[in-house]
Amino acid sequence: MYDETMEYLKQNELYSLSRFGDSLTDGLFIMRIDQDGKNRRYIYEYINEAGREITHLTKADVGRSMIECFSQAEAKYLIDQYERCFHKGSIVTYSDSVMLPNGQFNAQTNLIPVLDQQNVMTHVVGITRNLTHLSLKTDEVRHVNRLFETYMNQTEEALIMLDMNQRILNVNQAFYDLFEYEKSYIQNKRLEDLQPQIAEEVRNQFSYLNEGKNITHYKAEWKKKSGESLHLSINFTTLPDEHGKLVAVVAVIQNITEEVRAKKALSDSEHRYRLIANYTQDLVKLIEIDGTIKYASPSHEPVLNYKPEELYHTNTFQYIHQDDREKVHKRFLYIIKQKKSGTVQFRMIMKDGTWIWFESNVKPVMGDDGEVTHIVSSSRDISKRKKAEDQLKRLAYTDHLTGLANRRILMQFLNKSIAKSKRNPNKKVSLLYLDGDGFKNINDTLGHDAGDTVLVKLSRRLLKMTREEDIVSRIGGDEFVILLPDIQSTEQAEHVAKRILEEMNLPFYVDDEQINITVSIGIGISPDHANNSEDLFKRADEALYEAKRQGKKTYCVASSSHNSF
């Protein structure tokens, strides 16, 4: 694409370069240099499609600086490379990498200075080349990119995304700030490389996570880059791809160092307990066994708008959401019986009636006879974390692009529906397997963004044509499955298929571009064609193949005979 011996480009070559940029598989970035005295800003003037895939940027980011487009750590890393090119006045090469579920995408970027007629550097052209076999347009790559964009920067807590072998895929700015890492330090690292003192413990955790099990409220002691210890509460959540295969782990990291230190100090005496509680941001209470509040820290007023004296001699359970009250009460009883500390999450009411999520660390206080006399609770607002965790749960059970059910949740509902129909001989279960006809042409001619928009619009159209109890699922690419869990005849499923085919005669519009697509549909019925979910899927798939063979834009119903339709 460029002569390796060339030291710079001329300004008049930039226009030609951008003209064919979107046809390149390499990432192409044209950066304008804004000089203000000794200060320089690098502004995105052009980004081709491959470049946007690599950086997660969009066309809307053209005209913005690196500082405006990336987290502080990411921006610093990139600016350092561009500054090298500016001061050297010739080509600079640097390496970067993106960890993906199916391997490591190794990238090499060449920065080429651009000079005007007075030989003043006005631009830098960045060309990022893929050094591995992985394609930026594979579903796995785009899936992980979307997970990052959707979730990683929606919370103020530190987050790290890893593949199933502990390799670091990405982190948010809060992670950099908490552990004082720079991007260059964590590149090509595994989690146990960052925390070698707990390597065996990390391996055990990932063995558990690879079984599809999540880990919540895990208490750990990790170290910052400086070696300083941090006490953490970590939630590990596994994320599947479109096909249900586990591809990533997101760790939501809460720094509880100050809380742990405070608790340790509290154990010495109630006097010291009160001294610390008066100055902590957490909501600290001293509670009698029957729930009566004996002491409440001043932090209750800025958080819940209650003055501490308003809470004295009232019962702590009256401030807890009625749906959480029994759970919290049982947890308190267990802690009193076992004489061990514990953690519980619940909603607490503010004075204005608003409910806030809290995580409370509860510790029993023993008298001289060894029996529990009081409970100390230290509660922290986790509303943002709960919101982020809810988003993670949605990601785990919904399609990342359309928001429809993914294969995992579809199979759960299908298994339940078939089991239910076996108890009622008058009920049937139907699967409609849809596949786009020639959908690849949209991606090839108009780009993946346009293709994604069509898939989202198609999803909404399918939802409008189905009942509330039906499940519409995207299981990959342009393949959709509709579960009709409660029908009485094959004709009902055929009626839905006919409506879908008729509705597909209406075009889709993307950026004023009219797009016409059709679908083929295969229909399987249980118990007519299969008695279990796996076989029913196969029969619907076979019927879809037959519909394609018959000329597409039609539907076909499976038969009880394996080879006939």
SS (HEC) of 226-259: CCCEEEEEEEEEEEECCCCCEEEEEEEEEECHHH
DSSP H or E run through 467: none
Same-domain status, 115 and 155? no
- The total of structural domains in the chain comes to 4
pLDDT for the residue 502: 94
- Cα-based distances in Å from 444 to 217, 447, 449: 46, 6, 11
Q: Which of the 8 DSSP states describes residue 559?
A: -
- CA-CA distance, 503 to 373, in Å (whole number)? 69
HSE toward the beta carbon, residue 114, CA cutoff 13 A: 18
List Cα–Cα distances, 78 to 91, 109, 115, 236, 330, in angstroms: 15, 11, 21, 30, 53
Structure tokens at 32: 């304008």
Q: What is the pLDDT at residue 277?
A: 52
| Positive or negative: CA dihedral 537, 542, 547, 552 | positive
335 and 415 inside one domain: no
Is 260 a member of any domain?
Answer: no
Token code pair at residue 23:
């046809």
* Phi and psi torsions of 95, nearest 5°: -110, 150
Residues 549 and 429 in one domain: yes
| Domain shared by 247 and 273, yes or no | no
Pick the closest to residue 288 from 260, 321, 264, 311 (CA basis).
311
- The structure tokens listed for 388 are 């982020």
pLDDT of residue 11: 54
Residues 84 and 60 placed together within one structural domain of the fold: yes
CATH number of the domain enclosing 472: 3.30.70.270
User: Which residue type, as a one-letter code, is found at position 357?
Assistant: W
564 located within any domain: no
Contact 81, 110 (CB under 8 A): no
Contacts of 509 (CB under 8 A, 6+ apart): 515
- Single residue among 232, 255, 278 that ends a domain in this structure: 255
Q: Which pLDDT value is given to residue 438?
A: 81
Residues 123 and 186 in one domain: no
Q: Is residue 507 part of a domain?
A: yes
Residues 439 and 523 placed together within one structural domain of the fold:
yes
**Do both 158 and 214 map to the same domain?**
yes
DSSP 8-state code for residue 165:
T
Among candidate residues 162, 249, 240, the one with its CA nearest the CA of residue 214: 249
268: Cβ–Cβ under 8 A, 6 or more apart, which residues? none
Round the CA-based radius of gyration of the chain to a whole number and report it. Answer: 29
pLDDT at position 13:
58
417: which residues sit within 8 A by CB, 6+ positions away? 429, 483, 485, 486
Domain-embedded: residue 485: yes
CA 234 – CA 255 distance, rounded (Å): 9
How far out from the chain centre does Cα 168 lie?
A: 14
Residues 208-238: b if buried by 16+ CB within 10 A, e if exposed: ebeeeebbeeeebebeeeeeeebbbbbbbbb
pLDDT in tens, 94-132: 877 654 444 445 678 889 888 887 888 899 988 887 665
Gap between the Cα atoms of 211 and 218, Å rounded: 17
Model confidence pTM above 0.75: no
Is the same domain home to 421 and 549? yes
- Judgement on whether residues 231 and 281 belong to the same structural domain of the protein: no
Report the DSSP beta bridge partners of residue 162: 168, 249
Neighbours of 200 (CB within 10 A): 9
- Residue 162 sits in the same domain as residue 226: yes
CA 561 and chain centroid, separation: 44
Which two tokens mark 221? 């002691």
* Pairwise CA distance, residues 178 & 525, whole Å: 54
Cα 14 to the center of its chain, rounded Å: 37
Query: By three-state DSSP, how is residue 44 classified?
Result: strand
Beta bridge partners of 314: none
**Residue where a domain terminates, one of 363, 386, 409:** 386
Same domain, 515 and 529: yes
Within 10 angstroms of residue 516's Cβ, the number of other Cβ atoms is: 10
Q: Return d(Cα 384, Cα 243) in angstroms, integer.
A: 29
Q: CA distances (Å), 389 to each of 210, 236, 514, in order?
A: 19, 10, 39
Residue 4 lies in a domain: no
Pairwise CA distance, residues 304 & 297, whole Å: 11
Residue 366 included in any domain:
yes
Cα 482 to the chain's mean position, in Å? 25
Please state, in angstroms and rounded to a whole number, the distance separating the CA atoms of residues 151 and 149: 6
d(CA 291, CA 551): 72
Q: Give the tokens for residue 478.
A: 């342009």
List the chain residues with pLDDT less than 50.
Answer: 1-6, 99-104, 133-137, 141, 268-269, 272, 275, 279, 561-565
- DSSP, collapsed to helix, strand or coil, labels residue 532 as coil
Structural domain includes residue 264: no
Amino acid identity at 361? N
DSSP H helices, 89-148, are 139-147
What are 162-180's pLDDT values in tens digits?
Answer: 889 999 888 888 899 999 9
- Nearest Cα neighbor of 32 from 11, 13, 5 is 11
Q: Determine the Cα–Cα distance for residues 105 and 167; give it in Å rounded to an integer.
A: 12
Tell which of 386, 410, 435 closes a domain: 386
Q: Quickly list DSSP for 352-410.
A: TS-EEEEEEEEEEEE-TTS-EEEEEEEEEE-HHHHHHHHHHHHHHHB-TTT--B-HHHH
Stated length of the chain: 565
SS3 163: coil
In-domain check, residue 392: no
Containing domain of residue 197, as a range? 140-255
CATH number at residue 77: 3.30.450.20
